[in-house]
Each structure stands twice: as C-alpha cells, then as structure tokens.
C-alpha cells in the first residue's frame, strides 16, 4: 500500500508548528498504525531528518499512551486505540492527516506528543480510597452485589488516554471524571469519601482548563474502551449531593 | 534427590572440567551465602521473625529520611505509596508520561492468593510448594514461603482500595484455577487483572502525591546510580522533555524498573521496557543473578513481517480447546489450512506427548513449535526465509461445543486475534508462535531485597528472587505487590534505622563523576553521526538472542552469539546514528542508551546460559535432556544461584555461587510423558 501522510510537526511548546507532507510506499496492511510510523521514521532517519515524536508504549491497547488524531478522529476510524489500528482500515493511495490531541489542558510538548499530566492531578485530588497498606479487613468481610462489581469494572477499564477530551468540542474531561466517580461509587469501599472525592476532582478538572460538558456525546463514541455516557449523569448527581452536603 | 533418569549427555557428571563450558568467559569468585538477614527456624515463623527483628525508624524522624523509587509498576507504585504512607520523604520516577502506564498494566490472567475461599484444600503451604516446583527447584525456600504467606493480605488490600475483582452472584469473590494447578486460587478482573491492580496502586500513589509525601517525576529516565562510600545514595536522571541531567540524592534507592525481555527486541513487553536502571546499578557493583532464566510463552500472535515492533500474547487457556498442528509435508505450508485433509496434518503435541497433548508445559509447547518451523513445516507469512507459526485449530471445539460456547469462553481473545491479523479464527485456524514474556533473572538481592550494594533495594521483576528458573501463571502480579506493599516497607526500615547517614551534596566527587559519565555517554551518541539507526542495532541484537539464547541453547550457539554480540557492540559505538539535539525530546537518544545496555546484558545472558549446562525451568540446554527430549536438571552441579559481578569494561565477569539448600522440600524431576 502507498500513502500520503500529512503530519503535524512542532519543535517544542513555543514553536507554532505546522503540517508536513510525506510519501510512504510499501506499507503492509498487517502493519499497525504505529508500525507504519516506525517505518516512516526509519525512512526519515536515513534521509537525515529528525524522526517524528509520538507517545506509545504497550502497543496492545491497555497502557493508554498512544494518542493520535487521525483524519480528525481521536484514535482514527475504528473504535480502538491508535496502536490497535491497522493499515487495512485505510485505502491504498489514501491521504492520512495525523495531529496531536486537541485540547487546551493537553499542551503540545513536541510533534504529536502532548502533556496529559492534568489527569494525574485530578486523580490525586480524590480519585482513590484512603486505606493505608496493612489496614484492610478480610476481602470477604463486605460482599458486593455482582451487578455493582460488574458495573464498577466496566467503567474502571478507562485507560486514561484522553481521547474523550480530544474528541469533545469543549475539551471537557467529564467522561474520564465520571468513569472514576462511578467506579468507586459503585463499591462499598468508596462510600466514605464519596462527597469529598467528587468535589475535589471536579475542582481540579476546572482548574486545569478542561471545559464543561454540554451532553454532545463525542467522548463516548471516541472512547476505545466504550465508557458509557451515563457516567456523566452519575458525576453530576454525585456533585449535586456533595454540594447539598456542604462541599 | 535427583531421580536417576538417563541423560543423552555423553559426559560424565563427575568430570567437572568437561562441564565448564564457560571457561575463559568468566572468573570464579567467592561464594555467597544468601543468608543475609534471613532468619532461621521453622519456615512458617521466619517472616514474622524478620518483621519483628527489623528495626523501626521513629515516626517523628521518618520525614527526614529520603527514599528514591525508580519505576511505578506494581512493585514500585505500591512501594512508593506505602513508604509515603509511613511518612518517609519519597521521590518516585517513571519514564512514561504517567505512573499509571507501567507495563504491569498489560497482565491479563490474574493474581494468586492463598485464601482457600473455595475450600478446595489450598493453603500457604500448597502455594509455597507449587511455586517451588514451578521454579524447578532453583529458588529459595524462605523467600517463596514468605511470598505465599503475604499473598492473602494482597487480596485484602486491593479489595479495600476498590479493585473490582470478579464476583459471584452472592457477592463474594470468584476464583479460577490457573496454569495447571489443582486448586482455584486465582483472583481476576476479566482479562485485565494487571490493569485493575495497577490502577489500585496508582491511586494509592497519587493519594500520597496529593498528601505531599511523594514527589512524582514522570518522563524521567534513570541513567546512573550514585554510590558514595559503598552505599547507594541517589540517581542521575534525564528529564526526557527538557533534556536536563538531574541529580537526585537520598538515603536509599529502590529499583522497581521491571524486566529486560526487550533484549530480544520482539517480546510481549512494552516498547519502553529496558534494563538501563538495573544495568547501571550492575556496573556499579550490584550482582546480576541468573540472567539467562527467560520465560517464553507459547501462545502469541506470530510475526507478520519485517516491520513487526512487538508481540501480543493471548491467554494460554486457548490450549484447553484448540488443537495444535502443522502440515506433515512442508509443501503444504502455504495452502489454505481448511483444505489440508486430516491425514496430512501432524498434531505433533498429541503425537509426541499422548498423555498431556496440547496441554504440555509452556516450555515444551514452545520448543516443539520451534522444531516444527525449523524443519520447514511452519505456516503463515515467510519472514527472513522462514515461516514461523503453527496452527491452533478450534474447528473440533466448535463442532463439539458449538460456536456460542467457544465464543463465550474465548470471545475476547478471538476478537483481539482478528483485529491484529485480519483473519477470522472461527473460520480459519489461528496461527501462534512463542514469544519472550517474562524474565526470572534480575539483580541479586538478599532476604531483605537488598542488593549487593548496601542501601540499594530491588523489587518486582527487576530482582531475581522468588520464582526460580520458571514462574507460575498469576504469580508475577503477586510477587510485584508482595514486594512493594509488604516485604520492602518492612525490611528497608532496618537499613534506614541507621540514619542519619552522612550528608552529601551534588559536588561530592562520586556524584560529579556519575553525572559526568552520563553526560559523556549522551555526548558520544549525539556526536557519533554514524550511518545506522538505533532500531536496526536493536533488531539485530534481538535476532541473535532469539536464535542462540532463546528457546533452546547450545554450547556452540552461545559461543557464536557472544562473538556476534561483541562485534555488533563495537559497531554500535562507532556507527550509531542519533539525529536532533539532546536538550529536547529525543526518542532516538533514549533508545540508544537502552540498546547500549542491552548489548552488554545480552552477552552476560549468553555467558550465564553457557555456564549452566543443565536444563531447568525456562532454560533449556540441548546438551542436557533425557532420551525423550525432556529437560534434565543436574542438581549435583547447578543447584545454585549464579550471581555475576561486573569486572569492568572488556573484563570477564566474576561468578559468585549461592548454593540453594532445600530443607523442607524434596527435589524432583518432572515428567510429562
């Protein structure tokens, strides 16, 4: 297969950046999207051009590192992570545009790499259960109804990639927030800090420059793990309760 | 005692000269006792004895004591969180953009815990015994017992953090049997147990970041260990965004930087997994133990072409229902498998091992797949002139159980396979091939997880402890969390009780020297301006390792590999091409440093494999097998931990042997015929 690649190149946070065009031949349909970029990078190195910087690590769809806007869609045309996208999803001869995540709260570091540390700071503001090591009761001390445990698991599969933010016209991280609020809110272990958790995380979210949610739903359709939109309803419900309780 | 199985090895075992395959490649050193900080007495009392005897740092003094933790996977993340909770001043480092991305996240299967919730006769004793046996009698009894003992507390801790383990309808935790053991002791969260456990540890860690006890350094790579007056006192790290070389000093350093499977270039590890943190420590005096012990997983998706960057594992539960075969005739290799009649297929595992069939242990399944492909009977795309794949066929299972049943059991794995290969495994047999998955070797540590450099502690896959020559399924997660939550926080305090240590500053000669060494290496890479990319060297090293130090190792092959690696290393240092600058993100520069260390590690792995002329666990020497082609241990000669000391650039490493003494279990040879 043969492709024309229009790729965002930006030297650093201060550089305005711009699209550069590359031609790539002899691409196999079995290559993952990132392997295609590896091949392009080897070609660039051979031609004494600096390789394209992009985040990636596990390449099996679970670490959440990879984060490319492909033809304007977060992670590209399939509902999966960029690393699990394969070239067979494109047509021979196609022009493919590759950009970094678009969001105020995810500033570009270089080329296609962005800074998503805001997510860590949101978790540090309440996305946990306060239990010191060794202080836990027996694991069977508190049974958890299977449906709650399953629901908690489903939303806990969030990989923190930020596709929801990149896809949202408001640059909101409400789906990411809602997933964590729902995960811990479904479990008895998460109840004691339920109010302070949502209050702390939402305050940090707003402080980081993420936008508000206006129920557009782009987030959930871009989410490689299928986190459902109703976690945002849960988030809002928990926030109202917390405010009522004086948070 | 060793069973008296006949060996195909023509040499007599009482002729030690004949068996010193690595003569000339190493220098014999003083033996190690391995008993440092290890209490005596009944096995079941040893750990509580150590917890009691290890001194405590006064809570009021803890905030004056500083700890560096490198790595934020299950071991590092849980250790940093727990030490932060205890009140120490912790600095935590990871190369990823967030601690939540460490590769523990990719573990699928589950975590063992000796809870006996199923009432099926499980116990600490049984988990201990299974682990010792699974490690092929090459681990320490005291360590393994401790691991089994704390396993139950791990489950409690994780549940309390909100880890959503699978549950039954009554609301209690579900368990499954894993890796051929006879009890159900594996806790799981669908196929994403590692992810859920890591998020638990990550949240505990971020809680401490919020509380101010842990300072987090993401996108930082440790490039050197600082050793002052014989003690580990800090690290030199590169800020991977600004390129700044930073000095971080502390009272103690914990390495939890994972395994080095990426020395093979292709493995199931994440792209960034590397040996640099532990290898820099090795060069500063920390012994590297059993580096040749590698676990190779039989059910991975085969290489599809020369562009392949990593391999993906599929749960080996697939072997419960899938039948493995290759064509009898190499001519059929590129035929549509559905058109190859039954009579022309070779179900080789069922043929060679009628009792166990497709369920033979991982190493046997892997080795036989390689043999079939070496014979030219492999299937799938030809890469570098060889087809490296065998069929894993579900046609019989679909006929017997129905498509629905197969779908409910393996649906997610089939989907993953279809996404990666573009083939529908319900219609066409899957293709599988073995891949490197985990390493049992790592930095040598004593019972306290302290390396041979005082003040340096090593946890998780980065250390060599506990598993022996092979690792049981669902035990990697257990060991990472055991080390991080329970073992290390209890043992490190004994070392820290000697604080305050001498104050050191950044202008101490040892610190300056470490920083200068890092800078010199970076300068070298930036100014070499050679002709070959870093990846091309890494790929070539990987091919050498896979060919000669992979599933089957021989004296001749290993010697050849050592020569090839030395030549490659030489070329790498003269001819590597790194573009751009060092004061910004430079992924080629990052990789160059890692490949430089992999080249040295690869050589040591081959020397270790050459020295160990026996087959045990994940290490198979062709010279040491039974008449039936099964692995044959030589307990009379090799029941020891091989701990290697760095002797300097271009010098033969020094081998320190730690004898493994079995007081409570009897050493047995396995048989799967």
Tell me if B608 is assigned to some domain.
Answer: yes
- β-pairing, A73-74 vs A68-70, is antiparallel
B223, B101: one domain: yes
A81, A161: one domain: no
Region of residue A246 (left: phi > 0; alpha: psi -120 to 50; beta: else): left
List, as ranges, residues 228-247 from A with C-beta within 8 Å of B.
Answer: none
Tell me the CATH number at B385: 3.90.700.10
Query: CA A191 to CA A184: how far, in whole Å?
Result: 8
A15 touches chain B (CB under 8 A): no
Tell me if B640 is assigned to some domain.
Answer: no
A127, A154: one domain: yes
Tell me if B16 is assigned to some domain.
Answer: no
Among candidate residues B436, B452, B485, the one where a domain is terminated: B436
Q: Is the pLDDT of residue B9 over 60?
A: no
pLDDT in tens, A187-219: 999 999 999 999 999 999 999 999 999 999 999
The residue of B51, B159, B239 whose CB has the most chain A CBs within 10 angstroms, and thus the best one to mutate to test that interface, is B159
pLDDT in tens, B482-534: 999 999 999 999 999 999 999 999 999 999 999 999 999 999 999 999 999 99
Q: Is the pLDDT of residue A67 over 90?
A: yes
Query: CA A131 to CA A137: how far, in whole Å?
Result: 10
Q: Is the pLDDT of residue B12 over 80?
A: no
| Per-position b or e across B44-61, b if 16+ CB within 10 A of its CB | eebbeebbeebeebeeee
Distance of residue A238 Cα from the nearest chain B Cα, in angstroms: 18
User: In terms of residue numbers, what domain contains B513?
Assistant: 509-634
A187 touches chain B (CB under 8 A): yes
Domain total of chain A:
2
A64, A132: one domain: no
Query: CA B432 to CA B301: how far, in whole Å?
Result: 5
- The pLDDT score that the predictor gives to residue B413 is 87
A23, A142: one domain: no
A110 touches chain B (CB under 8 A): yes
**% of chain A beyond a pLDDT of 90:** 100
A140, A109: one domain: no
Q: How far is CA B305 from CA A31, B201, B219, in A?
A: 8, 37, 31
Spell out which residues of chain B touch residue A60, defining contact as CB-CB under 8 Å. Answer: 106, 268, 310, 312
Token look-up 């638990």 returns B200
- Give the number of beta-carbon pairs within 8 Å between A and B: 215
B217, B77: one domain: yes
CA dihedral (B316, B317, B320, B322) positive or negative: negative
A129, A214: one domain: yes
B599, B517: one domain: yes
Token look-up 């595992």 returns B349
Please name the residue of chain A whose CA is at the shortest distance from the CA of residue B80. Answer: A133
| Per-position b or e across B207-225, b if 16+ CB within 10 A of its CB | bbbbeebbbbbbbbbbbbb
A109, A131: one domain: no
Among candidate residues A60, A95, A113, the one where a domain is terminated: A113
List, as ranges, residues 97-126 from B with C-beta within 8 Å of A.
Answer: 97-103, 105-106, 115, 117
Average pLDDT over residues A118-145: 97
Kindly calculate the radius of gyration of chain B based on its CA atoms and give it in whole angstroms: 24
Q: How far is CA A152 from CA A164, A185, A189, B163, B411, in A?
A: 19, 8, 12, 9, 21
Q: Is the pLDDT of residue B8 over 60?
A: no
Please name the residue of chain A whose CA is at the shortest distance from the CA of residue B108. Answer: A62
B184, B95: one domain: yes
Average pLDDT over residues A213-239: 98
A135, A182: one domain: yes
Tell me if B536 is assigned to some domain.
Answer: yes
- Give me the residues paired with residue B435 across strands: B297
Tell me if B460 is assigned to some domain.
Answer: yes
B175 touches chain A (CB under 8 A): no
- β-pairing, B323-327 vs B390-393, is antiparallel
Average pLDDT over residues B147-155: 98
Work out the pLDDT band at B3, boundaries 50, 70, 90: very low
Q: Are B221 and B237 in contact (CB under 8 A)?
A: yes
A66, A182: one domain: no
- The pLDDT score that the predictor gives to residue B4 is 38
Spell out which residues of chain A touch residue B207, defining contact as CB-CB under 8 Å. Answer: 124, 128, 130
Considering only CB atoms, A28 lies closest to which of B103, B169, B307, namely B307
Considering only CB atoms, A187 lies closest to which of B162, B270, B587, namely B162
pLDDT in tens, B348-394: 999 998 988 998 878 889 999 999 999 999 999 998 889 999 999 99
- The pLDDT score that the predictor gives to residue B18 is 60
Work out the pLDDT band at B15, boundaries 50, 70, 90: low
Q: Is the pLDDT of residue B24 over 90?
A: yes
pLDDT in tens, B71-108: 999 999 999 999 999 999 999 999 999 999 999 999 98
Tell me if B366 is assigned to some domain.
Answer: yes
Tell me if B17 is assigned to some domain.
Answer: no
B300, B432: one domain: yes
B44, B73: one domain: yes
Tell me the CATH number at B532: 1.20.58.100
Tell me the CATH number at B216: 3.50.50.60
pLDDT in tens, B529-581: 999 999 999 999 999 999 999 999 999 999 999 999 999 999 999 999 999 99
Query: CA B223 to CA B586: how far, in whole Å?
Result: 15
Work out the pLDDT band at B473, boundaries 50, 70, 90: confident
- Give ∠ CA B33-B126-B113 in degrees, rounded to 5: 95
Among candidate residues A85, A113, A141, the one where a domain is terminated: A113
Cα distance between the two ends of chain A: 57
Tell me the CATH number at A25: 3.10.20.30
B354, B472: one domain: no
Tokens of B374: 């070496």
Tell me the CATH number at A158: 1.10.1060.10
A86, A120: one domain: no
Query: CA B316 to CA B323: how far, in whole Å?
Result: 12
- Give ∠ CA B106-B609-B557 in degrees, rounded to 5: 105
B613, B536: one domain: yes
User: In terms of residue numbers, what domain contains A176?
Assistant: 116-244
B459, B525: one domain: no
Domain total of chain B:
3
Tell me if B13 is assigned to some domain.
Answer: no
pLDDT in tens, B625-652: 988 788 999 999 999 999 999 999 999 9
Among candidate residues A113, A146, A179, the one where a domain is terminated: A113
A55, A68: one domain: yes
Q: Which of B11-15, B28-32, B66-70 bottoms out in mean pLDDT, i.e. has the lowest?
A: B11-15
B487, B539: one domain: no
pLDDT in tens, B303-347: 999 999 999 999 888 988 999 999 999 999 999 999 999 999 999
B287, B311: one domain: no
Query: CA B566 to CA B573: how far, in whole Å?
Result: 11
List, as ranges, residues 559-618 from B with C-beta within 8 Å of A.
Answer: 577, 579-580, 584-585, 587-588
Query: Taking Cα atoms as reference points, which of A79, A97, A78 lies closest to residue A88?
Result: A78
- The pLDDT score that the predictor gives to residue B673 is 60
- ipTM of this complex: 0.98
Query: CA B461 to CA B256: how far, in whole Å?
Result: 7
Query: CA B378 to CA A172: how far, in whole Å?
Result: 50
B158, B214: one domain: yes
Q: Is the pLDDT of residue B611 over 50?
A: yes
A130, A33: one domain: no
Torsion of CA B577, B580, B583, B587, to 10 degrees: -60
- The pLDDT score that the predictor gives to residue B5 is 42
Q: Is the pLDDT of residue B192 over 80?
A: yes
Q: Are B34 and B468 in contact (CB under 8 A)?
A: no
Neighbours of B365 (CB within 10 A): 24
List, as ranges, residues 192-221 from A with C-beta within 8 Å of B.
Answer: none
Please name the residue of chain A whose CA is at the shortest distance from the CA of residue B529. Answer: A48
Give me the active site residues of B, please: 362
């Amino acid at each position: 297969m043969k492709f024309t690649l229009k790729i965002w190149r930006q030297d650093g946070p201060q550089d305005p950046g711009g699209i550069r065009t590359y031609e790539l031949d002899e691409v196999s349909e079995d290559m993952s999207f990132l392997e295609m970029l590896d091949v392009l990078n080897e070609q660039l190195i051979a031609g004494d051009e600096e390789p394209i910087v992009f985040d990636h690590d596990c390449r099996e769809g679970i670490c959440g590192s990879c984060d490319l806007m492909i033809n304007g869609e977060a992670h590209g045309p399939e509902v999966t992570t960029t690393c699990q996208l394969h070239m067979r999803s494109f047509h021979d001869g196609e022009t493919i545009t590759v950009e970094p995540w678009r969001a105020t709260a995810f500033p570009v570091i270089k080329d296609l790499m962005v800074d998503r540390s805001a997510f860590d700071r949101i978790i540090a503001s309440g996305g946990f259960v306060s239990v010191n090591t060794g202080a836990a009761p027996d694991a069977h001390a508190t049974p958890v109804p299977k449906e709650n445990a399953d629901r908690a698991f489903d939303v806990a599969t969030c990989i923190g990639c930020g596709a929801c933010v990149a896809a949202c016209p408001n640059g909101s991280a409400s789906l990411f927030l809602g997933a964590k609020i729902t995960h811990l809110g479904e479990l008895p272990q998460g109840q004691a800090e339920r109010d302070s958790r949502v209050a702390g995380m939402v305050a940090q979210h707003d402080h980081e420059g993420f936008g508000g949610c206006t129920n557009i739903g782009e987030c959930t359709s871009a989410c490689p793990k299928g986190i459902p939109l109703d976690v945002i309803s849960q988030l809002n419900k928990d926030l109202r309760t917390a405010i009522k309780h004086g948070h | 005692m060793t069973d008296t199985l006949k060996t195909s090895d023509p040499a007599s075992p009482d002729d030690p000269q004949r068996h010193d395959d690595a003569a000339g490649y190493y220098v014999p050193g003083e033996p190690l006792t391995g008993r440092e900080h290890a209490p005596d007495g009944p096995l079941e009392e040893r750990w509580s004895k150590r917890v009691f005897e290890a001194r405590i740092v006064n809570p009021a003094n803890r905030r004056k004591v500083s700890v560096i933790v490198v790595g934020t996977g299950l071991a590092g993340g849980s250790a940093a969180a727990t030490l932060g909770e205890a009140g120490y001043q912790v600095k935590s480092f990871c190369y990823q953009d967030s601690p939540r991305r460490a590769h523990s996240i990719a573990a699928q299967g589950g975590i063992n815990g000796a809870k006996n919730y199923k009432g099926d006769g499980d116990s600490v004793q049984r988990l201990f015994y299974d682990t010792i046996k699974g490690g092929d009698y090459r681990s320490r009894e005291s360590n393994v017992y401790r691991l089994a003992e704390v396993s139950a507390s791990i489950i409690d801790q994780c549940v309390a953090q909100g880890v959503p383990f699978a549950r039954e309808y009554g609301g209690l935790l579900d368990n499954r049997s894993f890796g051929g053991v006879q009890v159900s002791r594996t806790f799981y969260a669908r196929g994403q147990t590692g992810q859920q456990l890591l998020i638990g540890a990550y949240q505990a860690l971020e809680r401490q970041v919020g509380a101010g006890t842990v300072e987090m350094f993401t996108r930082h790579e440790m490039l050197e260990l600082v050793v002052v007056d014989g003690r580990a006192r800090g690290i030199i790290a590169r800020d991977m965004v600004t390129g700044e070389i930073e000095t971080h000093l502390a009272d103690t350093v914990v390495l939890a930087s994972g395994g080095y499977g990426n020395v093979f270039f292709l493995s199931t590890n994440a792209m960034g997994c590397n040996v640099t943190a532990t290898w820099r420590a090795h060069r500063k005096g920390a012994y590297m133990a059993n580096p040749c012990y590698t676990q190779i997983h039989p059910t991975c998706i085969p290489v599809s072409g020369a562009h392949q960057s990593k391999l993906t594992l599929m749960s080996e539960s697939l072997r419960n229902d899938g039948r493995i075969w290759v064509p009898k005739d190499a001519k059929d290799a590129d035929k549509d498998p559905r058109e190859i009649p039954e009579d022309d297929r070779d179900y080789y595992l069922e043929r060679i091992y009628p009792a166990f069939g497709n369920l033979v242990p991982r190493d046997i399944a892997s080795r036989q797949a390689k043999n079939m492909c070496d014979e030219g009977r492999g299937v799938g795309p030809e890469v570098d002139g060889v087809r490296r794949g065998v069929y894993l066929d579900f046609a019989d299972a679909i006929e017997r159980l129905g498509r629905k049943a197969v779908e409910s059991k393996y649906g997610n794995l089939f989907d993953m396979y279809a996404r990666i290969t573009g083939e529908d495994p319900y219609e066409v047999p899957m293709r599988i091939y073995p891949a490197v998955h985990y390493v049992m070797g790592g930095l040598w540590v004593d019972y306290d997880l302290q390396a041979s450099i005082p003040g340096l502690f090593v946890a998780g896959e980065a250390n060599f402890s506990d598993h022996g020559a092979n690792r049981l399924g669902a035990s990697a997660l257990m060991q990472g969390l055991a080390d991080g939550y329970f073992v290390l926080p209890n043992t490190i305090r004994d070392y820290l009780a000697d604080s305050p240590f001498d104050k050191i500053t950044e202008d101490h000669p040892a610190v300056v020297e470490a920083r200068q060494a890092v800078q010199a290496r970076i300068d070298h890479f930036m100014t070499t301006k050679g002709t070959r990319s870093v990846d091309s060297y890494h790929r070539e090293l990987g091919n050498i390792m896979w060919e000669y130090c992979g599933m089957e190792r021989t004296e001749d092959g290993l010697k050849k590999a050592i020569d090839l690696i030395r030549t490659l290393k030489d070329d790498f240092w003269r001819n590597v091409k790194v573009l751009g600058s060092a004061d910004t993100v430079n992924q080629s520069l990052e990789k160059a440093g890692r490949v430089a260390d992999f080249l040295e590690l690869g050589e040591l792995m081959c020397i270790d494999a050459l020295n160990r002329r026996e087959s045990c666990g994940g290490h198979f020497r062709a010279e040491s097998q039974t008449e039936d082609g099964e692995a044959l241990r030589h307990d009379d000669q090799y029941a020891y931990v091989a701990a290697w000391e760095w002797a300097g650039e271009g010098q033969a490493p020094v081998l320190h042997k730690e004898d493994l003494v079995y007081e409570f279990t009897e050493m047995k040879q396995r048989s799967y015929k």
